[in-house]
Amino acid sequence: MYNLLKGKKGIIFGALNEHSIAWKVAERAHEEGAQFVLTNAPIAMRMGELNGLAAKTGSQIIPADATSMEDLTNLVEKSMEILGGKLDFVLHSIGMSVNVRKGKHYTDPSYDFTTKGWDVSAVSFHKTMNVLYNKQAMNDWGSIVALTYMAAQRVFPDYNDMADNKAYLESIARSFGYFFGRDHKVRVNTISQSPTPTTAGSGVKGFDGFLAYADQMSPLGNATALECADYTLTLFSDLTKKVTLQNLFHDGGFSNMGVSDAVMSKFVDEK
């Protein structure tokens, strides 16, 4: 290991189980010398295995509903108490669509479900940064990262309203990132990751087929959760101090492909 995050302190949102990207980020951040607080919604904590991760990484857990300003304020204040000062990094790894869970088609959603998913998946990022910004909770040259997906730019029919949520999330990163950079020298970026078999990702209709398709389309193949964690750590580190307001594709090249030989071969008869 490289001691890439030695002495750095932060908050990691969204670890649920060992398949979660946030879980891998926590493991790798610990290996690279960071200290951090883990957080997730109370209901998600009951579903997951967060206590084991906390024990493994020597971390404390603070439950928080990321849509609640009161919970987020408590999270940030207690995290600074526990960690002994301001924060150097924050990972927002939260996403949820009630419409997807309930099998509601994009053309016929429940708008109450839409609003809930939008709040959890995107507005929560604005709320988190609101608290961090106004509490001046981040050290200079700190780094805030959210996980997204390229359905924000292209149509993936079964991704449903999560595509809209991710588009809004990326816009928040740019807009809030300007003020955070100008006023506090804090970086804000999003990582657009390959389709990854997490608990959330696997809930999307036809996910297994799309996972195989993306792997065949990408010259380097799909990026794994662990590889995404490694990439995230570079953004938390001092090696990327001038990288901000970016949506960074981490997808084996998928985002720049039109078609691949492997995919074309399935539609062309060999003579």
**Catalytic residue IDs:** 149, 159
Q: Whole-angstrom Cα distance, residue 89 to residue 91?
A: 7
* 166 annotated ligand-binding residue: yes
- Residue 81 amino acid letter: E
- Nearest Cα neighbor of 233 from 145, 151, 171, 168 is 145
First vs last C-alpha separation in the chain: 51
Contact between 173 and 125 under an 8 Å Cβ cutoff? The reply is: yes
Residue 94 annotated as binding?
yes
Q: Coil, helix or strand for 56?
A: helix
Please, are residues 15 and 41 in contact by the beta-carbon 8 Å criterion? no
Contact partners, residue 271, CB within 8 Å, separation at least 6: none
Distances (CA, A) of 202 to 17, 122, 144, 211, 237: 13, 20, 26, 10, 30
Task: Judge contact between 39 and 20, C-beta under 8 A.
Answer: no
Mark out the alpha helices in 146-206 (DSSP H runs).
162-184
Say how far apart CA 217 and CA 111 lie, in whole Å: 34
Binding residues: 14, 20-21, 94, 166
Binding residues for NAD(+): 14, 20-21, 94, 166
